[in-house]
Amino acid sequence: MKTLTILIPEGQNNLSSVIGPYKFFLKANKHYRSLGKEEIFRVQVAGVSGDSELYGGLFSIHPHASIRDIARTDVLIIPALAHENLEEVVKQNEEAVNWVLGQYRKGAEVASICTGAFLLAATGLLEGRSCSTHWNAAAKFREMFPGVNLQTDRLITDEYGIYTNGGAFSFLNLMLYLIEKYYDRSTAIVCAKVFQVDIDRNSQSPFTIFNGQKNHSDDVVLQAQAFLEKHLDAKVNMDELAGNLSVSRRNFDRRFLKATGNTPVEYQQRVKVEMAKKSLETGRKTVNEVMYETGYSDVKAFRDLFRRITGLSPQAYRNKYNKDVVDNVY
């Protein structure tokens, strides 16, 4: 029988991403037993320093073992970390980082949940590879690990025995993905039905909230961002905007990309789509009316852009999130 280990890092403060994997794999084992098959995994929880208290002592985790006593595991799951002070949490987990790296080198496959990707990235295993994490932690991740190909639209990444996933409870889809890989499709479907999780969901784009990346000190870029956000219904000429800010277009694009992670055009598109999303979620305006409000007049162009950023068409997005939706179409 193989061993699956759920790691409890120092400063762990996310209970759901520990309980979730534990219950999913126990259920998969139980299903296999009901079919007269042998269990695939012995599931264990391993800590760095004994018991862990979460949420101010409201809950606690009592690991089965210490990582120091585990010479080898076949699969290793890193749960989500607290979103606050991610840099500090990674620093205090040097022992866990080295242990994860050592296990991978011995042949273990490693999966990170949500912000657990920060601890995984600290091993260096994600350098030059694709990775996902919670969209709300993307800016911090890029700052700390610029050599990783972060893809926050992806719900799951799978490269060289390393798996990552997006944010919050999207880890349930990663569990189904792993169960299908290690058990079979029918077992994954059983788990999906028991835990009532939509199977085969592969994007977290519909759940992303674009707040604008303003955690930087480039005053020129901040002025440009403010201008773009104020003129959502206009088609802004970026050459003119750069000139008004007394910088060349090439320098403007370079500084904007460095500060925000987007080109000026991409930033404008994302701001417009975020405005459109809010209108579609709460209002009774038609998709065409929302399109015109955000400065677009070409239905196909607007639809293609909206789908590229959110993963859904404007009408599908509206149907999904607006409870008062009316049957107004293009």
Using a 10 angstrom Cβ sphere, with 0-12 exposed, 13-18 middle and 19 or more buried, the burial of residue 158 is middle
Entry pTM: 0.68
Listed as ranges, residues in the chain with pLDDT below 70 are 200-209, 211-212, 324-330
pLDDT tens-digit map of 126-170 = 999 999 999 889 889 999 999 999 988 888 898 889 999 988 788
pLDDT at 330: 40
Nearest residue to 67 (alpha-carbon basis) of 88, 47, 42: 47
Over the stretch 220-272, which tens digit does the pLDDT of each residue have?
Answer: 999 999 899 888 878 889 999 999 999 999 999 999 988 888 899 998 998 88
Mean pLDDT of the chain: 88
Domains of the chain by start residue, with CATH? 2-205 (3.40.50.880), 219-321 (1.10.10.60)
* Main-chain phi, psi angles of 164, to 5 degrees: -135, 165
Q: Residue 26: its pLDDT value, please?
A: 97
- HEC string of 237-270 equals CHHHHHHHCCCCHHHHHHHHHHHHCCCHHHHHHH
**pLDDT for the residue numbered 328:** 44
